[in-house]
A and B are shown apart, each in its own frame.
Chain A
Amino acid sequence: MSALERPVTRKRPVYLNLVRIRLPLPGLVSILHRLSGLALFFVGLPLLLVGVERSLASPEAFEAFRAALATPWAKIVLIGLVWAYLHHFCAGIRFLLLDVHKGVELRPARQSSLAVLFISLALTLVVGVRLW
């Protein structure tokens, strides 16, 4: 059968239904890498600048800043940002390893994705417990 006669079995392009597809683990790590990067850009960086600026002003301002960070809402935001940083950090290192062809096969790629999710959450928990 020539290519022209072959029946068209699949319609292309394929549009993915984002609500229904189930992301594989490496896909989950990848999209969380993007989302955490986005959060760090819009929220993490300005808060870091405010923090350094305020806390350097005087010993009183330093203590006032520390007290402001001790409120529950600030802690929740801070823990969220800590997770974003840690996830972005761990997933980034995974990408660097993939770049040098470490763990590119399916099984190691899945395992390293799980490791990234687990390590960043575990470290966030450690920081969170110390913070609270």
Chain B
Amino acid sequence: MKRIVVGAHYGLKDWLVQRVTALVMVLYTLLWLAIAWSAGGIDFALWQALFANGAFRIATMLFWLAVLWHAWVGMRDIWMDYLKPTALRLTVETLTVLILLAYAVWLLDVLWGPR
């Protein structure tokens, strides 16, 4: 099978993903600011109540999915620009994916794991 890897529209999806995930992160940041603002600061009781709330945990999960997808596109851009030897770039990209997966599993444990 022949694949065209250069030319118009290649990478358009990544470009769009980078922007949409950025907007999700902006919204989550605003959510935090609104919570901290309306409560006049965050103590342990509020902190624990927030993370006990199912909707908040799902919002946090969505935020992190946006972060991780955004980080993947961004880090791959950096590796593509500066790491020219293919073997090195593939190795680093693979490590990046493993780190992203580790963050994701860690987050699941923090949000839904036993406490």
Contact = CB atoms under 8 A, between A and B. Distances in A.
Interface residues of A, number: 21
A96 B110 contact: no
A46 interface: yes
B75 A45 contact: no
B53 interface: no
Interface string B89-115: 000000000010001001101100001
B62 interface: no
B47 A62 contact: yes
B67 A45 contact: yes
Interface string A43-69: 001100100110111010011000000
Contacts of B29: 89
A92 interface: yes
A37 B68 CA distance: 12
Q: Is the interface of B mostly helix, strand, loop or mixed?
A: helix
B99 to A, nearest CB: 8
Interface residues of B, number: 21
A38 interface: yes
Given A38-B78, A96-B19, A46 B48 contact: no
B44 interface: yes
A59 B74 contact: no
A41 interface: yes
Nearest to A52: B110
Interface in A32-46: 34, 37-38, 40-41, 45-46
B106 A92 contact: no
A5 interface: no
B51 interface: yes
A99 B106 CA distance: 34
Contacts of A37: 71, 74-75, 78
A38 B75 contact: yes
Contacts of A49: 103, 106-107, 110
